[in-house]
Amino acid sequence: MRTMPRALGALVLLACWALPSRAGAQDTPEAVVQRYYDTFRSGDFAGNAALMHPEALEELKTTLTGLAALPGATEELEFREMFGVSSVEQMRALPAPVLFERVLRNQLEGEMRAILATAEVDILGHVMEGDTTAHVVYRMRMNFGGQWLDQVQVIPLRRAGGDWRVLLTGSLAGMMNSVPRRDRE
């Protein structure tokens, strides 16, 4: 069932669409988002994971392991290909940033990597929600097989240990919350 791992990877990509070294406390939300997309273009998936909020990574891990544990969701070969593990138990044992990095690396190869290399991101600014959450507005332009896609989007960030970190987008978080998970049963 090869489509399930790709679907899991697609969830991760949606979370991210929507980062090379650690962000510092003096960084603006705009600077963090710019580095976030720079890591996609360069293939620095460990750097990308370092810019994600720890709670977002844990939420994503819980959802991915919950989906992978559903009956018929995946086979041993697919676990090895996508996550570098041979079971859901081994997947659960991975630190959330490592799991995230492995999924990105697996999903962003070949054509998708070439598309990301063409991405242009123009940060337009941010809107604060209280003192700890910022919503960065940006325009992304990417070339899909000769066709340019141009979209204005918003990505949320929240402070973690004084640094701005990327959160899951609202639509992905909602989708993830609708997936049955063992910790909710």
pTM: 0.75
What whole-number percentage of the chain has pLDDT above 70?
74
Question: For residue 64, with 0-12 CB atoms within 10 Å meaning exposed, 13-18 middle and 19 or more buried, which class applies?
Answer: buried
The β-bridge relationship of strands 163-166 and 133-144 is unpaired
| DSSP code for 183 | G
- CB-based contacts of 3: which residues, under 8 Å, 6+ apart? none
Total tally of structural domains belonging to the chain:
1
Q: How far is CA 152 from CA 17, 142, 165, in A?
A: 12, 12, 20
Average pLDDT value over all residues in the chain: 79
Which domain does 76 fall in, by range?
Answer: 3-184
| Domain at 126, CATH number | 3.10.450
Q: Confidence class of residue 142 from pLDDT cuts 50, 70 and 90? A: confident
Asked if the model's pLDDT at residue 50 lies above 90, the reply is: yes
Q: Is the dihedral of CA 96, 97, 100, 101 positive or negative?
A: negative
Other residues' Cβ atoms within 10 Å of the Cβ of residue 185 = 6
Residues 82-133 pLDDT 10s: 778 888 888 899 999 999 998 888 888 777 777 777 889 999 999 999 999 9
Q: What is the pLDDT of residue 1?
A: 45
Asked if the model's pLDDT at residue 180 lies above 90, the reply is: no
